[in-house]
Amino acid sequence: MLFTSPLIRIDHIIQVSERITIANTEKLNRDGSVVWIRSLASYNYWKAYELAFARGDSVDRTALIALVNNASLLIALAVVYNAFYVRLKSGRLSLQNLISGLLLGVIAMAVMLNSWTLQPGVVFDTRTVVLGLTGLYFGAIPSLIAVAMTSILRFSMGGDGVYMGIATIISSTGIGLLWRYRRRRVLHDLSLGELYVFGLVVHLAMLACSVLLPSDSIGAFFSFTALPVMIIYPVASMLAGWAMSSQEARRKAEETAKELAATREELGLIFDAAPVAIISLDLDFKVTEWNMAAEKIFGWARSEVIGKPLPFVPASERESHRNLTLAALSGESLRGQMLARVRRDGTEVKVRLHNAPIVNGEGKVEGVLGILEDVTEQYRAEAALKESETRFRELYMNMTSGVAIYEIDKENEVPIFSDMNPAGCGITGVNVESIKGRDVKEVFPGVVEMGLYDKIIEVWKTGKPQHHPAKLYRDNELVFWAENYVYRHGSDEIVAVFDDITQKRRTLEELERRVTERTEELEAANRELEAFAYSVSHDLRAPLRAIKSFTQIISDRYSQSLPDDAKRFFGFILKAGDDMSQLIQGLLDYSRLGRTALNMERVSLAETVDETLEVMAMKIKGENAVVRVGKPLPEVIADRSLLNRILINLLDNAIIYHKPYQAPEINISAEQESGDVILSITDNGMGIDQKFHDRVFEIFQRLHSSEEISGTGLGLALVKKCVELIGGEITLESEPGKGSTFSVKLRGGGDVRSSNTNG
């Protein structure tokens, strides 16, 4: 290889150098780099020869190798820059830096291994050219890699010049990085003069580093080496840098061209994807551009309109269109003018036009660009809104309710009048012009006492509409009853809709008076009816007992002498007497309900159910009934005696109305619901059709004849009245053949809200 042996023949080195140059011609031919590289190789060779000859020195093999190495270095550096660095620009930056640093380090090391020796331990090579340009063109990371590699190599080579060698490595690279920073990485426009100055600075620094040489070596360096170095190396740096700048300029041009192409493509996509019609005209008013949105809005394809006048301008608008276009060509732009145009199918389309002149790079107008937005639906919506506003304005002006509109002074939190409709002015006796801009308290001082003022402020702060109930408004001039509905419109506007309900209030007061009188009359009638029922039922008990007693005596004493028909008739009389007794007792019980004071207290459902089961034990046993009680049963607020009566009647009802030949099964349970207790009694009896669910709670209502099932028709009526007296509710769920569930809603065992009240 070229750099492996310092004893190789000079003519062979030159031939190899020429072959390297030719081999890279194809790679570098794009920017003409090979021409100056070959010239540089010849120039460096003969220049070194002439300098040595002029000084009278002998040109030995080592000096020539150093010159050839310099030429080969420049070739290799350009090849590396072109083949690797530029190609990796679009790749990963870390990989690019690593590869560039390693390759540049290898080149610098190869140069160092084929150096020219001034004296043992003091060598010279073109590492300063390599590392200076590396710092300038490749940046920090590749430079640090190359510096590390070359410093390690130079240290391992040893000798008197090791410290100078390492110092030149660091100084040349550092100058390159500082120059790069000063240029802000804009390297494609570096001139030959600047590059020569750069090379001169790098190698002046190298001369400065020579102070690190031994004293005898410093003298030899300046007497034999300094001048050739300062002549050749800055020129070499200039030419190599110029090649790299040319390459960088070409890359920048390619990137710019790609960016321009991408921008044009992107603009084309935007042009076609734009939701508004984009149309351009030339100076003859003919179409030059027509995007997809224009096709969609107007119906004509691009191929149908290019090079032709605009097809969507109605005949009646052509003169106006011409004037608009001429105005745009003269530099007058339009912003949002509404126009009427026609589609291909003849329908009208409303568009909003924005246009401007198209000016070329020389400042001459070449045409007009127009952007047209389809606002047909918006136009219709605005027209509908305007119509709606007109309608509601008429409603506002003609409605019989008053409407007051306030604006809130945020700083003082004061409602200020901004408007009031004619009805409101008529109700309050004010003129709208006289109250605008005034505080509501100033106009109507009574609103504070009325409570409306605070309601307005509350609605403004919360945004929640409020109903201000009927209140009497009173001040020095006005007295009337008003009812207000207040809501917030927007952020700072309050609307109050109000009515003068003075006459309505008087009518309601009259109705309330009449209702009160009628209620008192009905209550008196009810009391009389209850008293009558009590009196009748009480008075009927004595003769009924006599009838039953004498009938029983006759039946017992004369049963042997009576015929069978007579005995059967006496049985009917006794049965009817028993039924009559039950009915009279039921009437007495019903009439007594509500006549005595209620004692509302906490009552244990568990204890009450147990007491009821004890009272009903004989009947439960007689019917072979099964009663199950769900635990636990909570406390409720009720009158204890009425609650006992409710349970007894519901349990008795469940036992009586059981299915033939099937023993009654009854479940008693309770559950809590939102502070209330739902007591449920469920049976497996006959069930009740849906259409009779309300009727069963009416007095004397029976669904079966007395021959089928005995009863008075008072049991469930008594239950309902008891439930209502203690403030509860009773409901029924039942289907024929599937049993029934009676549910009683009672107050839970919280605080007793009412005690010792009369019904």
**354 & 450 share domain:** no
Q: What pLDDT is recorded for position 752?
A: 46
Please, which pLDDT band fits residue 628 given cuts at 50, 70 and 90? very high
Same domain assignment for residues 567 and 633: no
Please report, to the nearest 10 degrees, the dihedral formed by the alpha carbons of residues 35, 38, 44, 47 taken in order.
-80
Interval 498-544: pLDDT, tens: 988 888 888 888 888 888 888 887 777 666 666 666 666 556 666 76
Query: Both 70 and 47 in a single domain?
Result: yes
Say if residue 344 is in the same domain as residue 429. no
Q: How far apart are CA 338 and CA 317, in angstroms?
A: 13
What is the arithmetic mean of pLDDT over 102-128? 72
pLDDT at 42: 36
pLDDT band at 385 (very low <50, low <70, confident <90, very high): confident
Q: Determine the Cα–Cα distance for residues 435 and 71; give it in Å rounded to an integer.
A: 99
Q: Residue 719 has what pLDDT?
A: 82
CA distances from 88 to 85, 454, 552 (A): 5, 75, 128
Are 187 and 86 in contact, with CB atoms under 8 Å apart? no
Strands 597-598, 757-758: parallel, antiparallel or unpaired by DSSP? antiparallel
Please report whether residue 389 resides in a domain.
Answer: no
| Higher-scoring residue by pLDDT: 223, 352 | 352
Nearest-angstrom CA–CA distance, 49 and 58: 9
Dig out the tokens for 396 from the structure.
């506002």
- Which residue type occupies 652? D
Residues 6+ apart with CB under 8 A from 51: 227, 228, 231
Pairing, β 626-629 against β 665-673: parallel
pLDDT at 224: 65
**How far, in whole angstroms, is CA 487 from its chain's centroid?**
28
For the ranges 236-250, 372-386, 466-480, which has the lowest average pLDDT? 236-250
What average pLDDT does the segment 187-207 reach?
Answer: 86
Query: Each residue of 583-610: pLDDT tens digit?
Result: 566 555 665 665 566 778 898 999 989 9
For residue 281, give the H/E element and its range. strand 277-282
* 466-474/365-374 β-pairing: unpaired
- Shared domain for 53 and 180, answered yes or no, is yes
pLDDT reading at 18 higher than 90: no
Given a cut of 80, whether residue 7 has pLDDT beyond it is no
Domain that holds residue 642: 596-758
pLDDT tens digit sequence for 739-757: 888 898 998 875 444 444 4
- Domain-terminating residue out of 315, 348, 381: 381
Of 353, 364, 213, 363, which Cα lies nearest the Cα of 297? 353
In a domain, residue 491? The reply is yes
The whole-number pLDDT of residue 585 equals 61
**Lowest mean pLDDT, pick from 267-271, 329-333, 429-433:** 267-271
Residue 232's closest CA among 356, 397, 67? 67
Is 466 a domain residue? yes
752 φ/ψ angles, rounded to the nearest 5 degrees: -75, 115
* pLDDT score of 399 more than 70: yes
pLDDT at 182: 87
Reply yes or no on whether the pLDDT at 108 is more than 50: yes
pLDDT at 230: 82
Residues 521 and 540 both lie in one domain? yes
Instruction: Choose one of 316, 351, 381: the last residue of a domain.
Output: 381
Average pLDDT, integer, range 711-725: 74
Query: For the segment 694-708, what is each residue's pLDDT rounded down to a tens digit?
Result: 667 766 555 544 444
What average pLDDT does range 102-121 have in this prediction? 72
Answer yes or no: do 21 and 158 share one domain.
Answer: yes
Residue 390 resides in a domain: no
What is the domain-level CATH number for residue 295?
3.30.450.20
Helix, coil or strand: residue 598: strand
Last residue of a domain, one of 437, 472, 500: 500
**Helix or strand holding residue 612 (H, E):** helix 605-615
Predicted confidence (pLDDT) at residue 357 exceeds the cutoff of 70: yes
746 part of a folded domain: yes
User: Mean pLDDT, to the nearest integer, of 142-169?
Assistant: 88
- 234 and 103 part of one domain: yes
Residue 614 reports pLDDT greater than 80: yes
On whether residue 160 sits in a domain, the answer given is yes
Q: What is the pLDDT of residues 57-67, one digit of tens each?
A: 443 444 445 54
Count of CB atoms situated within 10 Å of the CB of 170? 15
* pLDDT tens digit sequence for 452-483: 999 999 998 998 999 988 888 888 888 888 88
Local confidence band at 144 (pLDDT 50, 70, 90 cut-offs): very high
The fraction of the chain above a pLDDT of 70, given in percent, is: 74
In this structure, are 753 and 721 located in the same domain?
yes
721 and 617: one domain? yes
Both 624 and 558 in a single domain?
no
Among the listed ranges 37-46, 118-127, 499-508, 627-636, which one has the minimum average pLDDT value? 37-46
> Is 388 part of any domain?
no
* Average pLDDT taken over every residue of the chain: 77
- SS3 helix, strand, coil % of the chain, rounded to 5? 60, 20, 25
Range from 64-73, 314-323, 341-350 that averages highest in pLDDT: 341-350
pLDDT above 80 for 313: yes
Query: Residue 201: what pLDDT?
Result: 92
Task: List the single range of 180-184, 192-196, 214-218, 602-606 with lowest mean pLDDT.
Answer: 214-218
Instruction: Please give the average per-residue pLDDT across 201-222, as a whole number.
Output: 83
Classify residue 341 by burial, with Cβ atoms within 10 Å: 0-12, 13-18, 19+.
buried
Mean pLDDT of 128-133: 86
Given this model, what pLDDT does residue 178 score?
Answer: 92
Look at residue 537 in the predicted model and tell me its pLDDT.
59
Spell out the residues 6+ positions from residue 48 whose beta carbon is closer than 8 angstroms to its own: 59, 63, 64, 66, 67, 228, 232
6-10, 497-501, 561-565, range with greatest mean pLDDT: 497-501
Mark whether 435 and 355 lie in a shared domain. no
- The CATH number that applies at residue 664 is 3.30.565.10
Q: Is residue 48 part of a domain?
A: yes
Say how many domains are in the chain.
Answer: 5
